């Protein structure tokens, strides 16, 4: 999939808004195995009750969409920047009532299921701040920067939970800021996505994940 689909900010934002239900469904199904269907996701975001969807899963849907709408407003107002404070603001929405704490960096160790690699805890603020600065200043290609940001946040786990969801929004914010459509990956690719991400966690080799994003990502166009 060619991610280099540039457009004006107004068109990009309209496409993001129009595809909000689909984006929310794709990312939650892919990243969290959330069982909500696309139609259930749309119903939840319309304020309807889905009796066959448990409250926790419905909450994830609402929270992710809240973070996405917050991101959209930042892009519209040209206020999106890659910073710890903005990441925490996004996380305060997507991780609300789910993470141990939301809207702030964790202060205790976390582990990744079935992964030997342990994300850093000591000097975490400095690690994330320096990493964001490097991503902004040293990677000139906007698509590479966006994907690298997702991988950096996912591997370092700055929050107690909802790291990949926050990372997906940061990635799309960088893409939209740079004149590209937001992207999603269809849930049919869940298995290969998590297998490849797990190997990245263990080895730190990002190349297979870059290849996966470039192969499977779908730009959100009207």
Q: At 102, which CATH number?
A: 1.10.3290.10
Flag whether 62 is in a domain: yes
- Position 1 scores a pLDDT of 47
The count of residues in the chain is 222
Indicate whether 1 belongs to any domain: no
Domain that holds residue 21: 9-219
Show the low-confidence residues of the chain (pLDDT under 70): 1-6
Angstrom CA distances, 156 to 111, 114, 127, 153, 161, stand at: 10, 16, 9, 5, 12
Q: Would residue 208 count as lying in a domain?
A: yes
pTM greater than 0.85 (yes/no): yes
Residue 3 belongs to a domain: no
What is the model's pLDDT at position 220?
87
Distance CA 68, CA 66 (A): 5
| Cα separation values, 87 from 18, 22, 55, 81, 93, Å | 24, 22, 26, 9, 10
With vertex at residue 74, the alpha carbon angle to CA 128 and CA 141, rounded to the nearest 5 degrees, is 60
**Confidence (pLDDT) at 22:** 97
Structural domains in the chain (count): 1
Q: What is the pLDDT of residue 177?
A: 96
Separation in Å, CA 44 to CA 6, 40, 57: 31, 6, 10
- At residue 79's C-alpha, the angle toward residues 182 and 152, to 5°, is 55
Whether 9 and 179 have beta carbons less than 8 Å apart is answered as yes
Q: Does 4 map to a domain?
A: no
For 178-198, letters b (16+ CB in 10 Å) and e give eebbbbbbebebeeebeebbe
> Other CB atoms closer than 10 Å to residue 67's CB: what's the count?
24
Asked if residue 38 belongs to a domain, the reply is: yes
Count how many Cα atoms sit within 13 Å of the Cα of residue 67 in the half-sphere of its side chain.
Answer: 34
State the CB neighbour count (10 A cutoff) for residue 140. Answer: 7
């Amino acid at each position: 999939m060619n991610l280099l689909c540039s457009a004006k900010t107004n068109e990009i934002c309209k496409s993001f808004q129009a595809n909000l239900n689909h984006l929310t469904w794709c990312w939650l199904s892919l990243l969290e195995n959330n069982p909500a269907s696309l139609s259930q996701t749309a119903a939840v975001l319309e304020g309807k009750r889905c009796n066959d969807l448990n409250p926790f899963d419905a909450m994830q849907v609402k929270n992710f969409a809240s973070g996405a709408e917050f991101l959209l407003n930042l892009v519209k107002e040209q206020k999106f920047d890659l910073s710890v404070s903005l990441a925490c603001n996004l996380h305060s929405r997507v991780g609300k009532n789910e993470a141990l704490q939301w809207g702030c960096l964790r202060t205790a160790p976390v582990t990744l299921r079935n992964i030997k690699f342990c994300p850093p805890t000591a000097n975490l603020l400095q690690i994330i701040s320096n990493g964001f600065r490097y991503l902004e200043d040293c990677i000139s290609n906007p698509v590479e920067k966006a994907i690298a940001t997702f991988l950096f946040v996912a591997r370092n786990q700055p929050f107690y939970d909802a790291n990949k969801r926050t990372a997906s929004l940061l990635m799309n914010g960088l893409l939209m800021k740079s004149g590209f459509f937001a992207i999603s990956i269809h849930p049919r690719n869940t298995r290969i996505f998590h297998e490849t991400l797990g190997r990245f966690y263990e080895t730190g080799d990002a190349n297979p994940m870059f290849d996966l994003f470039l192969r499977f990502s779908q730009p959100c166009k009207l």
